[in-house]
Structure 1
Amino acid sequence: MVLSNTYRYYNIIASYNITVKTGDQKGSGTDANVYIILHGQGFQTKECKFDNFFKNDFERGEIDKFSIDSEVNISEVQRIELRRDNCETRKLELQAIQAEYQLQVKIPGLPAQVKKLPEDEKFSFHYKVNFALEGIKFKAESFKLMMTNQNKWEDVEDVKTVYTKAFGVPESSEYFNDDAQFGRQRLSSLNSLLIELCTTIPQNFGVTEDMIKPFLEGKTMKQVMDDKKLFIINLSILEDCQTKREDLVMTCPLALFYFNDSKHLMPIAIQLFQQKGPSNPVFLPSDPEYTWMSAKMWYSLADSTYHQSLTHLNYTHLMMEGISVATKRNLALPHPILKLLDPHFLYLMAINSVALVALINPDGIIDKNSNAGIEGHFYIMRKSMLFWKLDLHGTLPEDLKSRGVFDQSVLTGAYHMRDDALLLYDAIKTYVEKYVLLYYSTDSALTADYELQSWGAELVKSRDDGGVGILGVPGNGNFKTTDQLVLTLTAIIYTCSAGHAAANFQQYDEYGAPFNYPYYLSGVPLKTRFVYFMLTESPVTIATILKTIPNRDVLLQMMVVTKVLSEKATKSLGDFEKQFIVDPKAVKVVEEFRQTLRQVGKTIESRNKKREYPYDWLLPKAIPNAISI
């Protein structure tokens, strides 16, 4: 909007010339009556109506010019107040949007998605070109490698030949059968929200104190539990997960970890299946070298399957898509909460529509290159939909508390993902609190907001009845306090930005290293630790390991897709591609958020200088606003 004024002394009238440009997005235009009030220092004009005779004003993408006369002369306009008589018009506009943004459960038992991708949600031409070029480059490189080399691996060094200049060397590939690195993966890698404080050994876990005593630095099991140094991960959700083929295996392991005096999290026991017994042994670091390595790899197979199906796909991409559709359906374009959330939904529906075609479909990349196959992934995802809650699993501090690892006196100096993520969560929450209080200074203003309450109702409405079906929305979607709204909005923005970044951008560095983070394994796990006493099994050797990991073809396909998915394609958190927030007070809140993020970045950089193994993945500049890749 451009404004100028001319003061005519002879009849004491000020004439204001105002130029208005209406946005070019679908739904931006309006047929409502629009009014303006100009504010100066201590005085203001009367409300004036924008209207050009015989012209349809405020059409999408158009520029309109208006001349308004007033008896008040304002030499310096400090604030502009706009209003439209939008009650009926706004409802009609929302009805049109709801017809375009419809919810549909495309995969039975999974989150609701948009039925058909709206025009406004499609990738920009620039984004599509860059995305396609990245994929073509890596596909061409992998094709060249497959044509010039045999599919089987000769030795460990042969695996490294796939790391050409175009791909780069995955960070995790620099380690081989390294227990400390295996522990770091649980704390600062793709799947760092599984570790739990161990206060008792589950009955179905066959580990005993005698087994792990050699790895506790002279302490008893009770002592390490009392000192909060014993940890467990239980991947029971993978039990009974089907596989792509009958000759493939999917584990559902339990693993025990000890946080030693050197502040390294070390694996000390792994059981690969849930039911303990003679044919389901507990593997230990004291086992033969490649027996122990094999156990860690079969554990990592389950971990990577959990990561891809739940941590990455279900809990960020799909859960947030349903929320984004409900947001567009229920909050009109001028609504302050839509303006707050919309930058964090950029390209989300578009990238998910691509994934449905190429990644999460029968015979797609996941189906062909994982043990679980796509139906196995869907099985795990359906299980998670029965218990995942926004106010617990989707709210970082509550999730950490539920696992006994919120307090930074636990895993001190090693749980980098937690420590950095909490800084970001707090920054986002403070930003949301300030913003919300600008528009809802009282709880009654919150309950009176029909659009907001309709949004909350659709979030919790059963997917069978056409809703999003999110569990754990505060107030069951009936927002009565600002705290309830702030928690909900913070969880959404955190998940779409920092949560997705933590689950996504290390993918190439992990999946590109088949010894450390396999997504596909051939053969079967050992059924006994002491294979040299058994006639039915052979000792595990490096040759066994090389036959177990994915062959060249499968590994290169995973490298291509994870390399593309690991590329940051949009602007950093707080630097919005689309700036919908224009209210001066709200703009100030946004700028304060940006300043806080800059300080968070400095804090993380300072931490990294002191860390033995720096963690760069949650630097604010490395986090996009939205799930756009």
Structure 2
Amino acid sequence: MIKSPFLKRRDKNHNNEKDDVEIKVVTGDRRGAGTDSKVFIILHDSNGRSSPQLRLNNRMTTNCRGQSCTFNRNSGIPDLTNVSRIEFWIEKFGLGAGWFVDRICVKLLSTEKSWVFPVLKWVKPSKEHIVLTVNDCLLPQHTPMDLRAQRMTDLGFKKAIYRFKQNVPHGPAQIENLPSDEKFSEEYYWTFATDKLNLLAQTKFIEWTTSKWNTLDDLKRVYRQSLGEPTCIGVWKEDWWFGLQRLQGVNPNVIRLCKKIPDNFAVTEETVKGFLGEMSLAEALEKNKMFICDLEITDGLVCKEGNYGLASPLALFHLNSENSLLPVAIQLKQKRGPDNPVYTPNDPPNTWLVAKMFYNNVEAQHHQALTHLGYTHLLMEGVVICTHRNLSPSHPLFKLMAPHFLFLLAINTRGLEKLVAPGGWVDNCMTQGVTGIFNLMKRGFDRWRFDREGQVEKELEARGVLDKTILPYYPYRDDAIPLYNVIKKYVTTVVKHHYDTPEKISGDWELRWWREELVKSRDENGVGLQNVPGTADGFTTVEEVIDVVTVIISICSLGHAAANFQQYEQYGFVPNYPGILMLDIPKEKKNYTEEEIMAMLPDKRMTLDIMVITKLLSSRGTKSLGDFEMQYLYDPVGVQAAEEFQKDLKRLSYEMKGRNIDRPWKFDWLDPEIVPNSISV
């Protein structure tokens, strides 16, 4: 912000001279966004001429949540042909002083030419002026010299309010205090706050007590009477469904190709005899027909005191002649021994069922701690903080990524307070509890690599499941790859436009600062991302910048969508994907009765909590990917790239709907119509 030399000039608000400009002011979608302060503006053209200060009527209080006010004024500039920059400020008048401005548009009435000046932030009363150039989209080295101080001051202010904090030692980088710019909009806040009450109201005719369920039929009836039946309710015991969960469930990135049985997995030829068709185990391994899920990351995990123990299972799968993935062996703990049997489909049905339930119980902990909360919500929280601290709102990369950060800090702040806090939902309804979820998160963050887990195809390749000839049916892979590539195409267009020479990368000090803080250790107030492309001196090629921005946008959109929106479908019917089981890890093969299985499940009141919260988490917050709530890019290349992005997404949505016609079980969670722009739930 700078002081204007025109501050003392008379207010040429509206006299008898002919109006030659239209000034439209758009207020953003925030609670209390309007203002009753006095608003002033000065226009500048490319020839260095300036208008006097123009007074805009103080009626912004009617201009709230995306509405606009339009003022016709005489610019006082003879033969005005363009407006290259504006400066504006507000002076305190009434109670509603703060003002969230989305953008200011100036149009010449004579030629209909118009210019956009994005603001996208709260403006407070001050004699300091906010100065903006057309489209406000410049690399720092291209910022006019007289505006660089303002840009640096704005970044300094951002660093003061976007501060890192670690809520747990060596844990993820989180926001110290939620900035006002990051709070939910009025509409979104109200919707989110009332949804849980509405869901609870749908269950009001059911008696929810701390008593246990008597039979599975009793449990199933509840869904028909309240929140609706998850689609798995009729198939959850089937082996083909257990295999399908690995390919298109909420945690589809654990399954990997198995070329050798791990030494600690007590599986032999005899163990799987009869399950591999005409093949021996050795042949099936050689021909890439065996797959494994190994959740050793949970081994010895310290969880909530008093909860039943958490397993650390291995599960072996066979791809049969019909290309169906079927489980053939489950071992619930890592260390082989007489108290750690290998379960197979040859065991009594309920014995095998309990083994699958215990496997799913552990994968549920992995899903919530890592795939969902850790690798999307909290990993990206650090990225959002870092971006605000190091990239000016005028930076093209900030504008490219900002729509995908909408409400992320707000939902994380609320989620940690309500769900991931001592005594909250995770503590009560998951075996790991809050202690376990953060311990597991720390383990996962130490393993996460930007150049592997961050990039969809490389992550699939690392697990040996990228090749369709090896694993023909894998809906997550088949939908995630093309969506990732569409995002990358969009990012490439914008990034290559602004970095069309290597010198523009090396000369961008904000970009260098951004990367430095992305890779800095979390214990040193950084994000702690590992294997980010580039060197200690920054990014070296435009391709590196493209990859980093693509990964970030991808995680905030498709990554979170894949992990989040079918939570009710998986968790809602508790036996299907139990977040908690009321039984110690089995040490022997026991033939369980239905009563014993029901006793393992949460009581009725906890079941209600699981149903309501997972239903709420499965609701969509922001608009569909590419349909941005707030537009940041107004430059012609950015606008054209966004329009092409939207067309590509529509084509991709049509293709995905076609693929779903032939799938045995619908998977539409990565349809661009369903994938939101950001992590807001």
TM-score by shorter chain over 0.5: yes
Structure 2 counterpart of 1:443, from 472, 481, 502: 502
Structure 2 residue matching 1:474: 3-state secondary structure: coil
Tell me if 1:194 matches 2:254. yes
TM-superposed CA distance for 1:417, in Å, is 0.8
Structure 2 counterpart of 1:407, from 467, 484, 505: 467
Mapped to 2, the partners of 1:502 and 1:466 lie a distance apart of: 30
- Match for residue 544 of structure 1? 596
Structure 1 residue matching 2:412: 3-state secondary structure: helix
Structure 2 residue matching 1:204: 3-state secondary structure: coil
Structure 1 residue matching 2:485: 3-state secondary structure: helix
Structure 2 counterpart of 1:261, from 321, 336, 339: 321
Structure 2 residue matching 1:93: 3-state secondary structure: helix
- Match for residue 308 of structure 1? 368
Tell me if 1:17 matches 2:21. yes
Pairwise mapping of residues 560-571 of structure 1 onto structure 2 (< 5 A)?
Answer: 560-571=612-623
Structure 2 residue matching 1:390: 3-state secondary structure: coil
Pairwise mapping of residues 55-74 of structure 1 onto structure 2 (< 5 A)?
Answer: 65=73, 66-70=75-79
Mapped to 2, the partners of 1:72 and 1:291 lie a distance apart of: 81
Partners of 1:295 and 1:525 within 8 A in 2: no
TM-superposed CA distance for 1:129, in Å, is 1.2
- Match for residue 227 of structure 1? 287
Mapped to 1, the partners of 2:581 and 2:241 lie a distance apart of: 20
- Match for residue 646 of structure 2? 594
Partners of 1:344 and 1:493 within 8 A in 2: yes
Partners of 2:310 and 2:585 within 8 A in 1: no
Tell me if 1:585 matches 2:605. no
Cα deviation per residue 1:502-548 (whole Å; 9 max; x = unaligned)?
1000101111122210111012233223x4xxxxxxx3222221111
- Match for residue 154 of structure 2? 93
TM-superposed CA distance for 1:101, in Å, is 1.2
Partners of 1:33 and 1:86 within 8 A in 2: no
Pairwise mapping of residues 378-397 of structure 1 onto structure 2 (< 5 A)?
Answer: 378-397=438-457
Structure 2 residue matching 1:257: 3-state secondary structure: strand
Pairwise mapping of residues 34-113 of structure 1 onto structure 2 (< 5 A)?
Answer: 35-37=44-46, 47-53=47-53, 65=73, 66-70=75-79, 82=134, 85-113=146-174
The amino acid that maps onto 1:496 is C
Pairwise mapping of residues 118-517 of structure 1 onto structure 2 (< 5 A)?
Answer: 118-142=179-203, 144-147=205-208, 151-246=211-306, 248-412=308-472, 414-476=473-535, 478-517=538-577
The amino acid that maps onto 2:476 is M
Partners of 1:324 and 1:345 within 8 A in 2: yes
Mapped to 1, the partners of 2:344 and 2:49 lie a distance apart of: 78
- Match for residue 610 of structure 1? 662
Partners of 1:501 and 1:618 within 8 A in 2: yes
Cα deviation per residue 1:53-109 (whole Å; 9 max; x = unaligned)?
59799xx99978534335979986778683853111110111112211111112222
Mapped to 2, the partners of 1:358 and 1:77 lie a distance apart of: 51
* Residues 90 and 20 of structure 1: CA distance in aligned 2, closer, same or farther (over 3 Å): farther
* Residues 496 and 476 of structure 1: CA distance in aligned 2, closer, same or farther (over 3 Å): farther
Partners of 2:505 and 2:542 within 8 A in 1: yes
Q: So what's the TM-score if we normalise by structure 1? A: 0.89
The amino acid that maps onto 1:87 is R
Q: So what's the TM-score if we normalise by structure 2? A: 0.83
Partners of 1:434 and 1:589 within 8 A in 2: yes
* Residues 465 and 56 of structure 1: CA distance in aligned 2, closer, same or farther (over 3 Å): farther
The amino acid that maps onto 1:430 is K
Structure 1 counterpart of 2:625, from 553, 573, 577: 573
TM-superposed CA distance for 1:241, in Å, is 1.5
Percent identity over the alignment is 38
TM-superposed CA distance for 1:243, in Å, is 3.4
Structure 2 residue matching 1:136: 3-state secondary structure: helix
Tell me if 1:525 matches 2:529. no
- Match for residue 610 of structure 2? 558
* Residues 296 and 422 of structure 1: CA distance in aligned 2, closer, same or farther (over 3 Å): same
Cα deviation per residue 1:392-432 (whole Å; 9 max; x = unaligned)?
112111110110111122211x2001100111001001111
Partners of 2:45 and 2:80 within 8 A in 1: no
Structure 1 residue matching 2:77: 3-state secondary structure: strand
Mapped to 2, the partners of 1:255 and 1:586 lie a distance apart of: 47
Cα deviation per residue 1:608-628 (whole Å; 9 max; x = unaligned)?
111122211111000110000
Of 557-566 and 453-462, the range deviating more from structure 2: 453-462
Partners of 2:556 and 2:679 within 8 A in 1: yes
| Consecutive unaligned residues in structure 1, runs of 5 or more | 1-13, 38-46, 532-538
* Residues 514 and 390 of structure 1: CA distance in aligned 2, closer, same or farther (over 3 Å): same
The amino acid that maps onto 1:475 is G
Partners of 1:213 and 1:219 within 8 A in 2: no
Mapped to 2, the partners of 1:626 and 1:138 lie a distance apart of: 24
Of 136-145 and 561-570, the range deviating more from structure 2: 136-145
Tell me if 1:114 matches 2:175. yes
Mapped to 2, the partners of 1:424 and 1:410 lie a distance apart of: 21
Partners of 1:94 and 1:331 within 8 A in 2: yes
Structure 1 residue matching 2:450: 3-state secondary structure: coil
Structure 1 residue matching 2:577: 3-state secondary structure: coil
Of 583-592 and 224-233, the range deviating more from structure 2: 224-233
Partners of 1:102 and 1:325 within 8 A in 2: yes
Structure 2 residue matching 1:489: 3-state secondary structure: helix
The amino acid that maps onto 2:504 is A
Mapped to 1, the partners of 2:626 and 2:307 lie a distance apart of: 48
Partners of 1:15 and 1:68 within 8 A in 2: no
Partners of 1:256 and 1:269 within 8 A in 2: yes
Pairwise CA RMSD? 2.8
Structure 1 residue matching 2:251: 3-state secondary structure: coil
* Residues 189 and 625 of structure 1: CA distance in aligned 2, closer, same or farther (over 3 Å): same
TM-superposed CA distance for 1:327, in Å, is 0.9
The amino acid that maps onto 2:527 is V
Mapped to 1, the partners of 2:235 and 2:429 lie a distance apart of: 23
Partners of 1:33 and 1:49 within 8 A in 2: no
The amino acid that maps onto 1:448 is G
Mapped to 2, the partners of 1:49 and 1:55 lie a distance apart of: 18
Partners of 1:182 and 1:516 within 8 A in 2: no
Mapped to 1, the partners of 2:50 and 2:368 lie a distance apart of: 53
Partners of 1:391 and 1:488 within 8 A in 2: no
Partners of 1:514 and 1:555 within 8 A in 2: yes
Structure 1 residue matching 2:452: 3-state secondary structure: coil
Partners of 1:206 and 1:276 within 8 A in 2: yes
Cα deviation per residue 1:230-261 (whole Å; 9 max; x = unaligned)?
10111000001133344612010011001111
Of 443-452 and 267-276, the range deviating more from structure 2: 443-452
